[in-house]
Amino acid sequence: MKATAIDHVNLRVPEDGVEGFAAFYRDDMGFDLEYYDEYRDGERGFFYVRLGPECILHVSPRETVPEPTGETVNHFAVFVDESMDEVMARIDAAGVEVETEAVREGATGEYPCVYVEDPAGYTVEFKTAE
Fold type of domain 8-65+73-127: 2,3-Dihydroxybiphenyl 1,2-Dioxygenase; domain 1 (3.10.180)
Contact 30, 49 (CB under 8 A): no
The type of residue at 1 is M
| Integer Cα distance of 125 and 99 in angstroms | 10
Contact 78, 29 (CB under 8 A): no
pLDDT in tens, 69-111: 877 789 999 999 999 999 999 999 999 999 999 999 999 899 9
pLDDT of residue 52: 92
Domain residue extents for the chain: 8-65+73-127
Nearest to 78 by CA among 68, 69, 90: 90
What pTM did the predictor assign?
0.91
Angle in degrees, CA 68, 112, 29, rounded to 5: 55
Q: Classify strands 98-106 and 47-52 as parallel, antiparallel or unpaired.
A: unpaired
* φ/ψ (deg, to 5) at 84: -65, -35
